[in-house]
Amino acid sequence: MNDPAVFKDSPWKALDPALLAQAANVPTMLAPEEQQFYAWATSEWMQDKGAVVDLGCFAGGSTARLAAGHQHAGHTGLIHAYDRFGANEEVKTHILYKQGIAPFEGNNILELAIDLLTPWTERISLHPGQIEDQSWEEGPIEILVMDASKTVQTMDAMTRTFFPSLIPGRSLVVQQDYLFWRQPWIAIQMELLADYFVPVAHVPNNTMVFLNTKQIDGTALEHAAVGPIPHDRRLDLLRLAHQRTTEAGFDVSMPMDEQIRTFEQHPNVDRAKHFVQKF
């Protein structure tokens, strides 16, 4: 599958539910349609031209959905999943225990993720630790999922590490939190890179998917850094991102307005958890 027009009809919504049956055992923070999209991206869009990279896999939920599609299509490459693999008591109670994991001591969830991902072990490589400290030397990346851009600094670092390996005309960047009111810097960065990507899908709740259209080189990376940009310019870029996504036909005006209003009230915030209130 190579024609970006395919995204117009949201074909992932027609995914055979059987494809996700085994992955349903792995707890996830993803919404149902996002789960369908992940499996569709690896089973239908992907052509085995590069790796799959999952930044922020938590207990393996997103990785399992990606792996289910990857296995269904018979792909041979690897899915590289990154996380610090920690969960506090609140996350354990509200996400893990609620989705069927038996209560356990401590905060480390690496062993849990390894166990949960057993059905797809041979196609997954786990990378524990801070993602911003990692390097990438595994060649082209065909599907890049970003779900760990919780601060401007870590997002900028992840972009520097992984974006140069995207394949123009082929690679998807799945921005899981693009529409989340606590992370306006994602839309700001994709606006800075507007010459290198086109938005191809909105997947509720918060995901925007982008097709890479041009090689990410040193010039692109210089453009992409949000860290050095002052608040007023960030706000302008966020407004432009709102304009671009709505003009492209996506029904995202409400969450983008919410992001803009919230960012106006919280100048200079660089970390998701420092946004105290949604406006």
Ligand X SMILES: C[S@@+](CC[C@H](N)C(=O)[O-])C[C@H]1O[C@@H](n2cnc3c(N)ncnc32)[C@H](O)[C@@H]1O
- Using CB under 6 A as the criterion, which residues of the chain lie in contact with ligand X when the complex forms? 28-30, 56-58, 61-62, 83-84, 86, 130-132, 147-148, 150, 154
Q: Please check whether residue 202 is in contact with residue 254, taking contact to mean a CB–CB distance below 8 angstroms.
A: no
Of 80 and 242, the one with the shorter C-beta distance to ligand X is: 80
Least distance in Å: CB of 247 to ligand X? 29
Least distance in Å: CB of 154 to ligand X? 4
Residues 6+ apart with CB under 8 A from 222: none
Of 142 and 147, the one with the shorter C-beta distance to ligand X is: 147
Least distance in Å: CB of 149 to ligand X? 8
Least distance in Å: CB of 264 to ligand X? 25
Least distance in Å: CB of 56 to ligand X? 3
Least distance in Å: CB of 168 to ligand X? 26
Of 84 and 160, the one with the shorter C-beta distance to ligand X is: 84
Q: Compute the C-alpha angle 161/259/157, nearest 5°.
A: 10
Q: Using CB positions, name the residue nearest to ligand X.
A: 56
Burial class from Cβ neighbours inside 10 Å (0-12, 13-18, 19+) for residue 78 reads middle
Phi, psi dihedrals of residue 93, rounded to the nearest 5°: -70, -50
Of 59 and 196, the one with the shorter C-beta distance to ligand X is: 59
Q: Compute the C-alpha angle 144/146/152, nearest 5°.
A: 130
Least distance in Å: CB of 219 to ligand X? 26
Q: Are strands 141-146 and 197-203 parallel, antiparallel or unpaired?
A: unpaired
Look-up of token digits 């896999």? 57
d(CA 69, CA 15): 10
Of 183 and 212, the one with the shorter C-beta distance to ligand X is: 183
Tell me which long-range contacts 247-253 makes (C-beta under 8 A, separation of at least 24): 248/198, 248/199, 250/199, 250/202, 250/208, 251/202, 252/179, 252/202, 252/208
Strand order in the sheet with 207-212: 124-128, 79-83, 51-55, 141-146, 172-175, 207-212, 197-203
Of 150 and 244, the one with the shorter C-beta distance to ligand X is: 150
Of 99 and 213, the one with the shorter C-beta distance to ligand X is: 99
Q: Please check whether residue 40 is in contact with residue 65, taking contact to mean a CB–CB distance below 8 angstroms.
A: no
